[in-house]
A = this chain, B = another copy of it.
Amino acid sequence: MKQFITEGENLPAWAAPISHAVVVDNTCYLSGQLAIGRDGNYVPGTAQEEARHAFQNVAHVLEASGFTLQDMVFVDIAFIDLADLPQVNALFAELFPAGCRPARTIYQAGRLPYDALIKVGGTAVRTARPQA
Chain A positions within 8 Å of B, measured between CB atoms, are: 1-2, 4, 6, 16-22, 24, 29-32, 73-76, 78, 82, 85, 89, 92-93, 96, 98-113, 119, 121, 123, 125, 127
Considering the chains assembled together, what is the distance between the CA atoms of A102 and B18 in angstroms? 6
Asked, given contacts A103-B31, A105-B119, A109-B109, whether A127 binds B19 with beta carbons under 8 Å apart, the answer is no
- Count this chain's copies in the assembly: 3
Are A123 and B29 closer than 8 Å at their CB atoms? yes
CB neighbours of A125 from chain B (8 A): 2, 24
Say how far A86's CB is from chain B's closest CB, in angstroms. Answer: 10
Considering the chains assembled together, what is the distance between the CA atoms of A21 and B98 in angstroms? 14
Say how far A51's CB is from chain B's closest CB, in angstroms. Answer: 13
